[in-house]
Structure 1
Amino acid sequence: MTSLPMSKVSLYWLRRDLRLEDNHALQQALASGRPVQCVFVFDSNILDTLSPADRRIGFIWQSLQEVQTSLRAAGGDLWCATGPAQDIIPRLAAQLDAEAVYVNEDYEPYARQRDQVVAQTLATMGKSLLSYKDQVIFARDELLTSSGKPFTVFTPYCNAWLKRLSPQHSQSLTMPSLAGRLRPPAGTPAMPDLAELGFAQAEPCLLTPGASGAQERFADFCQQRIQRYHQQRDYPGVKGVSYLSTHLRFGTISIRQLVQFASFDGGEGAMCWLKELIWREFYQQLLWHFPNIAAHSFKPQYRDLPFPNRQDWLESWQKGLSGYPLIDAAMRQLNQTGYMHNRLRMIAASFLVKDLLIDWRLGERYFAEKLLDFDLASNNGGWQWAASTGCDAQPYFRIFNPVTQSQKFDPDGRFIRRYVPELAALSDQAIHAPWQAKALPEGFVLGRDYPRPIVDHAEQRQLALALFGKQ
């Protein structure tokens, strides 16, 4: 192999693409003919807004360790820096004499603003920021309505997405060997440990971080559950979903690989799962076209709803002490693990907005703090759907009943018993609504051992209908 020129480098900046396989920007950087230096920035503009206990930093840190190990095995290293990314990347490009910085696109408002600043700064230096599509199949304006406008209803978007999909769109990228193509690790800064970053030591995670963990999780889903996905995905007490959302969020697995497999499988379970991947892209393109929805309701008539926003009810919901067992189990799962089953996200969100009459943005913010798989577009889209404020939302007059939802999706109380163990001795019938039970276990006192409901669903439903119906 011809040795590469060493005077200049190509800088590959990892963000939410923490893998070395099937990686568009890295592929292009390697094809540049210049040695490649990989860099990750612990962006202080983001870190400074997070709690020291935020689980995501531990997941990122462990995933980066795997990236670093692979780079070192190939003769390179991972350059890690801490500070404002918009300052660090241009400075590093100058320091390493990089002609271009290669990135995979990020569509969130902060990322777009940051990348614009970096691109402008690099341009003044005679350098380029080269961006590539990697986290979605179709981005930005690639899918529009027949009138050239963004889709704001999921079903037409989904149909257009499926119609447009071709094998080329989901084909995994062929990556050249890293050996001989990386910048030698002279003077590469060491990765800071979590304490140096101001974060607690990573707690044991339900997910194995990194690309290897993603492939292990994906293989388990494909071999064990995807055929039954459409039948089991709504039941939190059953291992029925893929558990790949965190890996998708941080790019430890490629969306192309997932879509390619689902399309090739073609079974009912696989196609149902593919639709969930399309929902993810629907919310991504929605945030791209309407960035103001990050802070405001999509529907203007619901932007100034006079929610009472009782703080004590919000705190009861957050702690899993609402008196509604399935809601409490869901919130405790979130608090303990950083994960919440998707069906429960809808039910818990509906309960906060429609039963407790609390602004959806307060719930969205809490999920953003706790979810390991937090993704702004999906989190915002899901909350606005449940709150009836989004573009393609649950109609405001359709309100989840937390008891009947519990009876339907956790019929034997398996999930409730796991996260609300004080109710373990209740019967399968009583566990969904202990206050309605004709008999409770001896020694169990409602209001002492487990709270009574903080609200009456039927009464709150009428108040919600009145609140939304006035608009």
Structure 2
Amino acid sequence: MTSVMWFRRDLRLEDNTALYNAMQSSNDLICVFHINPEQLEATPTLNQSTFFKSVQQLKLELAEHNIALNILYGDIYDAFRELKNKLSKADGIYFNFDENGFGRSRDQEMAQFLEQDLNFDVHPYSDHYLHGAKEIKKNDGSGYKVFTPYYRQWVKLEKRKPLSYEIESNKFRSETLIDYSDKLSELIHQDEVLNQIKVGANNAQIRLNDFVHYHLKDYERMRDIPSVNGTSRLSQFLRTGEISIRQVYQKVINQPDSDGKKTFIQELCWRDFYNMIYTMYPNQKEVSIKEDFQQIKWDNNEENFKAWKNGETGFPIVDAAMHQLNQTGWMHNRLRMIVASFLVKDLLIDWRWGEQYFHEKLVDYDPASNIGGWQWSASTGTDSVPYFRIFNPTLQSQRFDKNGDFIKQYLPQLSRINNQKIHEPQTLNIAEQQKFGIKIGSDYPLPIINHKEARKRVLDVYKTSKESLKN
């Protein structure tokens, strides 16, 4: 039997549900990856380049097993027609389906096309989450909007274990039928940031092992401190599927009990929870989930948005966080919440502007897993986050970067400040500025906004939006 294994965001050979089933059912497998121009960014982004770098790495890993990865390109219907024409016979096509977003509509349409027009037997599998979007519901059949009751149900359910198998190279085609590898290479725009980003299933496993053995136990205590390596950094690999969520869960659950282990498992639950939310509200990237906040009158000051993007707001923790994003393609999770709150609530800039910037810059951006967190940090999402939750960036800085270690790493002009004024450099007097070798307003900007006044303003704006529904 000749079959097709269609890779998408499951760029690994281990514990891949569709791949496992394809090998069980076929002795002549053709591996493919399709590049869809409809999904490509108009201008190159780090997010996109990183993903295609991961695809290229999968191609190399398959080649080590003498297996070809056929790179398809162009209109998706034409691409698969071309593939079908290259095959004298092809019975089945195997893939791991998406539950939401563009992927969901693509899979639904393609399943019908592949079956009815190309005569494939279509075999879709659930692979990306521990529990799918429709697995956990309230007694009345509706979805949860609050995390805690969802978690109570989630934690009771048995989790699928990783699949164990060997790659049987003799079952796969080694010759390439269609090869748009040149298009793949063109989509990987090399720059200094991309060059330092490690991709591939092997690096994903190294990262998982390092986290579990050296950081998991202290995860609860250290995860909010941006100056230390206290988080898993697995989101990039989960986004591309270079590691399976089942492998992560199994590795963690087998460790000795600790507060860190318990908290991290809750984070894995959050991932499933947000996937459910995204499936329930497919337009959440464009429209606030809560109707109360669909009438917000944004300020949308272009200069303030530019200052936010460039890390020039005059609030050190915000600026250091944005420099981390721009220099590395990643940002610490606590900082994501701080900079999102600052943009939306202090600057009163539309959360969709921030969402788009994170989409471009974050290598692990994934709206279905709430990587970026704009709906939630903006308090326009579920009932889990009250709208009046407004981070004070200075207090957040003092709490989570007490000695300014993270700030000094990404804002070297502030590195000589050795007291608590590093969190509020505008309070340095002239003598202190001379002592620390910095001129506030020149070497580092003054705050572009007064937080206390901004807090009052945004609460009034949110209140007005809520009241507009009554009229």
TM value normalised by structure 2: 0.93
For the Cα contact (< 8 Å) 1:58–1:202, is it kept in 2?
Answer: no
* TM-aligned CA distance change 1:257 to 1:380, over 3 Å: closer
SS at match of 2:383: coil
Is it true that 1:247 corresponds to 2:227 in the alignment?
no
Cα-to-partner distance string for 1:123-178 (whole Å, 9 max, x where unaligned): 223223321111101113111111111111111111111011x2xx2311122432
Is it true that 1:51 corresponds to 2:43 in the alignment?
yes
How many Å apart are 1:381 and its aligned residue?
A: 7.4
* TM-aligned CA distance change 1:384 to 1:62, over 3 Å: closer
Once superposed, what is the RMSD of the aligned Cα atoms?
1.9
Distance 1:81 1:447 in 2: 53
* TM-aligned CA distance change 1:178 to 1:433, over 3 Å: same
* TM-aligned CA distance change 1:199 to 1:44, over 3 Å: farther
Code of the residue aligned with 2:410 in structure 1: it is Y
Instruction: After superposing the two structures, state which structure 1 stretch, 124-133 or 214-223, moved more.
Output: 124-133
1:71-110 mapped onto 2 (5 Å cutoff): 71-96=62-87, 97-110=89-102
How many Å apart are 1:87 and its aligned residue?
A: 3.5
Cα-to-partner distance string for 1:249-291 (whole Å, 9 max, x where unaligned): 0000010011112222232211211111111111111111221
SS at match of 1:10: strand
For the Cα contact (< 8 Å) 2:92–2:123, is it kept in 1?
Answer: yes
Structure 2's unaligned 5+ residue stretches are 467-471
1:127 to 104, 120, 128: 120
Instruction: After superposing the two structures, state which structure 1 stretch, 198-207 or 222-231, moved more.
Output: 198-207
How many Å apart are 1:44 and its aligned residue?
A: 1.1
How many Å apart are 1:94 and its aligned residue?
A: 4.2
How many Å apart are 1:76 and its aligned residue?
A: 2.2
Residue 419 of structure 1: aligned partner: 410
1:133-282 mapped onto 2 (5 Å cutoff): 133-164=126-157, 166=158, 169-189=159-179, 191-192=181-182, 196-197=186-187, 199-200=189-190, 203-265=193-255, 266-282=257-273
How many Å apart are 1:41 and its aligned residue?
A: 1.5
For the Cα contact (< 8 Å) 2:147–2:384, is it kept in 1?
Answer: no
How many Å apart are 1:390 and its aligned residue?
A: 0.5
1:424-435 mapped onto 2 (5 Å cutoff): 424-435=415-426
Residue 41 of structure 1: aligned partner: 34
Cα-to-partner distance string for 1:221-244 (whole Å, 9 max, x where unaligned): 112111111100000001101111
For the Cα contact (< 8 Å) 1:62–1:209, is it kept in 2?
Answer: yes
For the Cα contact (< 8 Å) 2:285–2:352, is it kept in 1?
Answer: no
Cα-to-partner distance string for 1:187-235 (whole Å, 9 max, x where unaligned): 4526226553373467454442100010111111112111111100000
SS at match of 2:72: strand
1:327 to 287, 301, 318: 318
Residue 299 of structure 1: aligned partner: 290
Instruction: After superposing the two structures, state which structure 1 stretch, 431-440 or 135-144, moved more.
Output: 431-440
2:462 to 462, 465, 468: 468
Distance 1:57 1:380 in 2: 15
Cα-to-partner distance string for 1:391-434 (whole Å, 9 max, x where unaligned): 13431222110001000000111111111111111123111001
SS at match of 1:221: helix
Is it true that 1:454 corresponds to 2:444 in the alignment?
no
* TM-aligned CA distance change 1:93 to 1:44, over 3 Å: same
Is it true that 1:19 corresponds to 2:12 in the alignment?
yes
* TM-aligned CA distance change 1:393 to 1:440, over 3 Å: farther
SS at match of 2:218: helix
Instruction: After superposing the two structures, state which structure 1 stretch, 194-203 or 73-82, moved more.
Output: 194-203
For the Cα contact (< 8 Å) 1:207–1:213, is it kept in 2?
Answer: no
For the Cα contact (< 8 Å) 1:108–1:376, is it kept in 2?
Answer: no
SS at match of 2:283: helix
How many Å apart are 1:21 and its aligned residue?
A: 0.6
Residue 111 of structure 1: aligned partner: 103
Code of the residue aligned with 2:458 in structure 1: it is A
How many Å apart are 1:379 and its aligned residue?
A: 3.8
Query: Number of paired residues?
Result: 459
How many Å apart are 1:308 and its aligned residue?
A: 1.3
How many Å apart are 1:338 and its aligned residue?
A: 0.7
For the Cα contact (< 8 Å) 1:194–1:200, is it kept in 2?
Answer: no
* TM-aligned CA distance change 1:90 to 1:134, over 3 Å: farther
For the Cα contact (< 8 Å) 1:426–1:441, is it kept in 2?
Answer: no
Instruction: After superposing the two structures, state which structure 1 stretch, 445-454 or 284-293, moved more.
Output: 284-293
Distance 2:12 2:102 in 1: 22
Cα-to-partner distance string for 1:353-402 (whole Å, 9 max, x where unaligned): 11001111111111111100010223477211111110134312221100
Distance 1:365 1:59 in 2: 17
Residue 341 of structure 1: aligned partner: 332
For the Cα contact (< 8 Å) 1:262–1:271, is it kept in 2?
Answer: no
For the Cα contact (< 8 Å) 1:320–1:331, is it kept in 2?
Answer: yes
Code of the residue aligned with 1:173 in structure 2: it is L
* TM-aligned CA distance change 1:233 to 1:184, over 3 Å: same
For the Cα contact (< 8 Å) 1:81–1:189, is it kept in 2?
Answer: yes
SS at match of 2:182: coil
Residue 5 of structure 1: aligned partner: none
For the Cα contact (< 8 Å) 1:30–1:176, is it kept in 2?
Answer: no
Instruction: After superposing the two structures, state which structure 1 stretch, 302-311 or 175-184, moved more.
Output: 175-184
For the Cα contact (< 8 Å) 2:364–2:371, is it kept in 1?
Answer: no
SS at match of 1:177: coil
SS at match of 1:131: strand
Residue 469 of structure 2: aligned partner: none
